[in-house]
Amino acid sequence: MEIIHDIASIKQAIKKARQAGHTIGLVPTMGYLHEGHLSLLRQARADNQLVILSIFVNPLQFGVGEDYEEYPRDLTGDAAQAEKTGCHIIFAPTVKEMYPQGYNTFVDVEKLTDGLCGASRPGHFRGVTTVVAKLFNIVTPDRAYFGQKDAQQALVIQKMARDLNMDLDVIIMPIIREDDGQAMSSRNAYLSHEERKAAPILNHTLIQAASQIQTGERDATTIRAQIFQAISAEPLAAIDYISIVDATDLTDVIKIKGPTLIALAVRFGKTRLIDNIIVEV
Ligand code: AMP
> Residues lining ligand 1, judged by CB closer than 6 Å?
29-30, 36-37, 39-40, 146-147, 149-150, 173, 175-176, 183-186
Q: Taking the alpha carbons of 18, 23, 27, 28 in that order, is the dihedral positive or negative?
A: positive
> What is the per-residue pLDDT for 280?
95
Please tell me the residue having the least CA distance from ligand 1 atom 22. Answer: 147
> What is the per-residue pLDDT for 246?
98
What pLDDT, in 10s, does the model give residues 236-258? 999 999 999 999 999 999 999 99
Residue ranges of the domains in the chain? Answer: 2-173, 186-276
What pLDDT, in 10s, does the model give residues 27-63? 999 999 999 999 999 999 999 999 999 999 999 999 9
Point out the ligand 1 atom lying closest to the alpha carbon of residue 31.
2
Q: Taking the alpha carbons of 108, 110, 112, 114 in that order, is the dihedral positive or negative?
A: positive
Ligand 1: distance of its center to the CA of 217 in Å? 31
Residue percentage of the chain with pLDDT more than 90: 100
Domain range 186-276, CATH architecture:
2-Layer Sandwich (3.30)
| 110 contact partners, CB below 8 Å, separation of at least 6 | none
- Please say whether the structural domain 2-173 has been given the CATH code 3.90.950.10: no
- Angle between helical axes of 201-214 and 220-232 (0-180°, round to 10): 150
User: Measured between alpha carbons, how far is residue 205 from residues 24, 231, 242 in Å?
Assistant: 39, 7, 11
> What is the per-residue pLDDT for 258?
94
What pLDDT, in 10s, does the model give residues 191-216? 999 999 999 999 999 999 999 999 99
Catalytic residues: 37
What pLDDT, in 10s, does the model give residues 59-90? 999 999 999 999 999 999 999 999 999 999 99
> Residue 172's CB: how many other CB atoms inside 10 A?
17
Q: How far apart are CA 242 and CA 227, in angstroms?
A: 8
Check: pTM over 0.85? Answer yes or no: yes
> What is the per-residue pLDDT for 216?
97
| 124 contact partners, CB below 8 Å, separation of at least 6 | 61, 62, 63, 117, 118
Which of 32, 38, 40, 74 is the pocket-test mutation for ligand 1 (most atoms within 8 Å of CB)?
40
What pLDDT, in 10s, does the model give residues 143-194? 999 999 999 999 999 999 999 999 999 999 999 999 999 999 999 999 999 9
> What is the per-residue pLDDT for 111?
98
Ligand 1: distance of its center to the CA of 277 in Å? 15
Confidence grade of residue 231 (pLDDT, cut at 50, 70, 90) = very high
Ligand 1: distance of its center to the CA of 247 in Å? 18
